[in-house]
Amino acid sequence: MKHKHCFSRSAACLAGAALLCTAFSVQAREYSVSTVLSDAFPWGEAAEKWAELVEERSDGAITLEVYPDSQLVNGDQTREFSAMRSGLIDMAVGSTINWSPQVPELNLFSLPFLMPDYEAVDAVTGGEAGEMVFDAIESKGVVPLAWGENGFRQLSNSNGPVDAPEDLEGLKIRVVGSPLFQDTFEALGANPTQMSWADAKPALTTGAVDGQENPLSVFDVARIDQAEQMYLTRWDYMNDPLIFAVSERVWQELTDEERELVRQAAIDAGEWEIEKTRAEESERLEAIKDRGVEVVELDEEQRDAFVDATASVYDDWTPEIGADLVESAREAIDNR
């Protein structure tokens, strides 16, 4: 956190009441916000929106400075949560995937084909399961405030159309640094390689890997098609929610009123970003198709083959995530 003494917009300062200014100087506080993606992507836009709302509503007393590209953790996005916990990072808008090595409950969202549609996502994040996830984060020394969304993750590769697990046989797929993804892609017969986002595009461009998985917005903005990824399978196999959070140290510094302000701004920024991300999906898909990418849509039978092939992931990961949490999420989805 940085202090900006006697912030310029203070009317007292402008009136030249120097003494008053010293006596009542409002120390504008600046906090760092870490993100993996910049504001060229919905993810970074969510963080910028949060910053904008906090600055506006606190009349400049609190400012948030967004640091994209995982730069505060030298590109290693799986260290973001620990850095927030230890107070190196003040705040973050982070992915459940990247924080899952430290918070096993977050693997819930990566269970393959758990959430079939947006209603399912909202039922999980907005219900008891979402609260359980937030409690798990809080018990690790980070204060979660609101949800955002990176989106449903889709599969791309440079080899050919994928509409059955057999098509993935032996393909080298870049996955995020979370062991669950390793298991999912091994169950599908692929050859997964964990690497950071910073390393992903070079690895795709050089052909070190054949494929990757990310939401349409990421594929579109990062121009993954330029990295030979001309086949995309829309399989909606997992939704990647984002979480707005604050380190415990910073939270302790805030007054009750400020906490409420920061929390409400996160909720509003998250809702704004989720709506925008979802509304943009169809344009993104068109843009991707216009660039010549062959898009495969799965019918029910084809989708079921992927569901069956990845069923073992549930056996291995449910104890890790917590059977109660998985059950609560399933109930929420069934009753959505």
Q: Which residues bind ligand X2X (CB under 6 A)?
A: 36-37, 77, 95, 97-98, 150, 176, 197, 214, 218, 240
Name residues whose C-beta falls within 8 Å of residue 124's C-beta, 6 or more positions apart in sequence: 108, 109, 115, 130, 329, 332, 333
220 touches 232 (CB < 8 A): no
The C-alpha atoms of residue 282 and residue 145 are separated, in whole angstroms, by: 29
- The dihedrals phi and psi of 62, each to the nearest 5 degrees, come to -120, 125
Q: Which is nearer to ligand X2X, 36 or 124 (CB)?
A: 36
Q: Is 1 exposed, middle or buried (0-12, 13-18, 19+ CB in 10 A)?
A: middle
**CA end-to-end span of the chain, whole Å?**
42
- The dihedrals phi and psi of 156, each to the nearest 5 degrees, come to -130, 155
Positive or negative: CA dihedral 139, 144, 148, 150: negative
Q: Which is nearer to ligand X2X, 53 or 321 (CB)?
A: 321
CB of 55 to ligand X2X, least distance (A): 26
Q: Which is nearer to ligand X2X, 37 or 168 (CB)?
A: 37
CB of 269 to ligand X2X, least distance (A): 18
Q: Which is nearer to ligand X2X, 26 or 218 (CB)?
A: 218
Q: Which is nearer to ligand X2X, 197 or 251 (CB)?
A: 197
Q: Calculate Rg over the CA atoms of the chain.
A: 21
Q: Which of 285, 232, 240, 202 is nearest to 43 (CA)?
A: 240
CB of 197 to ligand X2X, least distance (A): 3
Residue whose structure tokens are 């120097």? 18
Q: Which is nearer to ligand X2X, 37 or 332 (CB)?
A: 37
Q: Which is nearer to ligand X2X, 75 or 189 (CB)?
A: 75
Name residues whose C-beta falls within 8 Å of residue 334's C-beta, 6 or more positions apart in sequence: none
